[in-house]
Amino acid sequence: MELSTGIVLAIIGAAISMGVAAISAGVGVGLAGVAGAGVISEDPKKFGPVLVLQALPQTQGIYGFLGAVLILIGVGVLGGTVKEIPLGMGYAALGGGIVIGLSSITAVAQGAISASGMGAVAKRPETFGQSVVLAVMAETFAIFGLLIAILIFVGTKIMGG
């Protein structure tokens, strides 16, 4: 099967989107998990809030996944026949993948916030909601990254029929 350079670029874009997002989300969730283990070692009853706080940095990984899937579906690698797409479109897909991947690095910071939030909850359980809000603030930029990528995909007709 001969793949045009455009398709290959799009696939690389999808790879960057998911790959970098996976690293970032992994590190973020890891930071939070390390703190979480400390909290439940002192009080296992706090597992619920700890789990929720640990789940928050995961969303960047989901955005990376979504971006990769949108690219792959858009160029036909997934679910249909591989299309012949022009080189430019391939670059556009690559660009979209890069923006999602880079903006997902906010998950690392979000993981650090979640970790401190767990410390707050360990000391004062009533601060759980506020800790969640603090952690979510870091996600704004990942969302903007996803947004720009979607706009790129729509504008270059990778998405949106």
Q: Which one among 55, 77, 102, 120 touches other proteins, defined by CB under 8 A?
A: 55
58 binds other proteins (CB under 8 A): yes
Of 112, 93, 109, give the one whose Cα is nearest residue 11: 93
Q: How many CA atoms lie within 13 A of 51 on its CB side?
A: 5
Q: Which one among 12, 27, 52, 82 touches other proteins, defined by CB under 8 A?
A: 52
Q: Is 147 helix (H, G, I), strand (E, B) or coil?
A: helix
Mask for 123-152, x = binds other proteins (CB under 8 A): ------xx-xx--xx-xx--xx-xx--xx-
State how far the Cα of 90 lies from the Cα of 157, in Å rounded to an integer. Answer: 11
* Nearby residues of 48 by Cβ (< 8 Å), 6 or more positions away: none
Residues within the interface to other proteins (CB under 8 A):
52, 55-56, 58-59, 62-63, 65-66, 69-70, 73, 78-79, 129-130, 132-133, 136-137, 139-140, 143-144, 146-147, 150-151, 154, 159-161
